[in-house]
Amino acid sequence: MNTQKKSPLWAQFSQFPSADAWPRFNGQPVPLGGMTVEHFLQHYWHKKPLLIRQAIPEFQAFFTPEDALNALHDENFESRLVTQDEAKGWQLKSGPLKLRQIPSRKKNNWTALIQGVDLNDAAGHALIQLFRFIPDARLDDLMISFATHGGGVGPHYDSYDVFLLQAHGQRHWRIGEDQDLTLVPNMPLKILQNFIPSEEFILEPGDMLYLPPHCAHDGVAMGDCMTYSIGFRAPSYRELGVALLNFVEDNIELEGRYADPELKFQTTPAQLPIDMIDNVFNTLEQLKWDKGWVAECLGCYLSEPKNNVWFDTPSPISINNFKKKIKKQGVVLSKGSKMLYHEPWVFINGEHLVADGQDALVLHKLANDRGVGADVVASFEEDSAIWQVLHDWYAQGWLELVA
């Protein structure tokens, strides 16, 4: 490794000797097997699968099979257990599970799925930072799959992009594009009824498979096996539409009240008046969809933490002591914090504020780098409003002092 100073997050992965030769995005290495981000986005992203041999050379699992088993009965993790046998077929259970519900590692054909590992594991959080060449608005989480021999979740497809990094053991993958997406009825899992593979691969630790949405795939463990899945959000337009309508409800401004001074006599009092329909329709037509509304709504919605995300709040500290500490140490976003921006707004964990000038530049840097050093903090004006903002975020557990 060279002696260039690396971010605390990247330092988690400094054990890979070839990483300095990787192509970079904003100064950080990207695990694309020597391919540039521009080439990947132009030719593969959201278009076709890509197999990358030794995407992360000499990769060693930091989240072990024992960690996966422990996570199945840990309420801090969102987990599922998938089993398959000839007598009962496919079965799905959601965690946390009791110890007696978890099969023995000696038993074949079962899988543990652990969501949001990046929120509970520092190395998991560091791993997904290597994939920030895709905007944070799309980045979802790190899911880890542990399977015994023969384990998997059946042939299926996802509605989002995913990188599948082999972490331990081997997995046999079969993939096929342009599939019949009909599902097997009455199943606890979404399993394709007529899956026809066109390619197959065996992945070793460090190998990675990228799959775009709707690319059918089936991965089966060859012995004990762990796969790390870096997934990307793809909310439905209906989901986004509902979020936007809720946002409009909270921000709508329509003056006046319905009135009908020209009301005409009608002999059918239960009939909804045509003039009322026309009046309300014409008034609502004055509402125009605004890109600012859309940006503001998206920023709040996409930065909203999931229901299972919680923040450790630190011991109370005065703003003056807080200033002294971060001038020496700097601050980083906590693992669970999601921070986005679109001028003039800055969004964090579903909330937003307007920022401009030097304050905006600092907050943008905090969002992009997920931290600002003591040298940046030292440049703040003593009366800047940013002190109070950072102090409030720290008090909520959204920020942490640099160790």
Kindly report, residue by residue over 96-136, the tens digit of the pLDDT: 999 999 999 999 999 999 999 999 898 999 899 999 999 99
User: What confidence score (pLDDT) does residue 14 get?
Assistant: 45
Pairing of strands 110-115, 89-94: unpaired
Kindly report, residue by residue over 195-220, the tens digit of the pLDDT: 999 999 999 999 999 999 999 999 99
Could you report how far apart the first and last alpha carbons of the chain are, in Å?
23
State the average pLDDT over residues 25-49. 88
3-state per-residue secondary structure call for the chain: CCCCCCCHHHHCCCCCCCHHHCCEECCEECCCCCCCHHHHHHHCCCCCCEEECCCCCCCCCCCCHHHHHHHHCCCCCEEEEEEEECCCEEEEEECCCCHHHCCCCCCCCEEEEEECHHHHCHHHHHHHHCCCCCCCCCEEEEEEEEECCCCCCCCECCCCCEEEEEEEEEEEEEEECCCCCCECCCCCCCCECCCCCCEEEEECCCCEEEECCCCEEEEEEEEEEEEEEEEECCCCHHHHHHHHHHHHHHHCCCCCCCCCCCCCCCCCCCCCCHHHHHHHHHHHCCCCCCHHHHHHHHHHHHHCCCCCCCCCCCCCCCHHHHHHHHHHHCEEECCCCCEEEECCEEEECCEEEECCHHHHHHHHHHHHHCEECHHHHCCCCCCCCHHHHHHHHHHCCCEEECC
Q: Do 334 and 122 contact (CB within 8 A), yes or no? A: no
Do you find a cis peptide bond into 23, omega within 30 degrees of 0?
no
Domain with CATH 2.60.120.650 in the chain: 8-232
User: What confidence score (pLDDT) does residue 33 get?
Assistant: 86
Kindly report, residue by residue over 327-364, the tens digit of the pLDDT: 899 999 999 999 999 999 999 999 999 999 889 999 99
**Nearest Cα to Cα of residue 399 among 311, 327, 328, 324:** 311
Per-residue pLDDT at 8 exceeds 60: no
Domain with CATH 3.40.366.30 in the chain: 319-401
Q: Do 227 and 164 contact (CB within 8 A), yes or no? A: yes
Burial of 255 by CB count in 10 Å (0-12 exposed, 13-18 middle, 19+ buried)?
A: exposed
Per-residue pLDDT at 12 exceeds 80: no
Strand-pairing partners, residue 115, are: 78
Give the up-direction half-sphere exposure of residue 1: CA atoms within 13 A in the CB hemisphere.
Answer: 13
Which residue type sits at 47? Answer: K
pTM: 0.88
Res. 10 pLDDT band, cuts 50 70 90: very low
Q: Is the dihedral of CA 34, 37, 38, 42 positive or negative?
A: positive
Query: CATH homologous superfamily for 8-232?
Result: Cupin (2.60.120.650)
> Mean pLDDT in the chain?
89
Cα 102 off chain centre by: 27
| Orientation of helix 386-395 relative to helix 319-329, angle to 10° | 90
Q: Do 90 and 191 contact (CB within 8 A), yes or no? A: yes
CATH of 319-401, one of 3.40.366.30, 3.50.50.60, 2.60.210.10, 2.20.25.160: 3.40.366.30
277 φ/ψ angles, rounded to the nearest 5 degrees: -60, -45
